[in-house]
Amino acid sequence: MSILATIAKQERIRLSERVKPGFTRKGLEVRGYTQRLEGKRLSWRQVWTDAYALKAKKLSGQDKSIRYIAAELGLSHGTAQRLVI
């Protein structure tokens, strides 16, 4: 059992060694919450805004299909569906 615990600890160390350069590359502090205070995001950027939602709902009101709305706005059909609902 202790062997598995040691292996798990080593995996955590190796993972953190891969993650830390990504934080510094983005100019973020590795420990702490300054990145949130500065408004920096660690995830993918959001593709759509409220303007997209308004356009999607307007097109949906004109009885356009989800795939048409997605093509018109340059979004995936899943994102377009989320905006319409």
Mark out the alpha helices in the chain (DSSP H runs): 2-25, 34-37, 50-61, 66-73, 77-84
Of how many residues is the chain composed?
85
pLDDT in tens, the chain (85 residues): 889 999 999 998 888 787 777 666 665 555 555 555 555 555 666 667 788 889 999 999 999 999 999 999 988 889 899 888 8
pLDDT attached to residue 69:
94
pLDDT attached to residue 30:
53
Determine if the pTM surpasses 0.85: no
Residue ranges of domains in the chain: 2-37, 50-84
Cβ atoms < 10 Å from Cβ of 26: 11
pLDDT attached to residue 55:
92
pLDDT attached to residue 22:
67
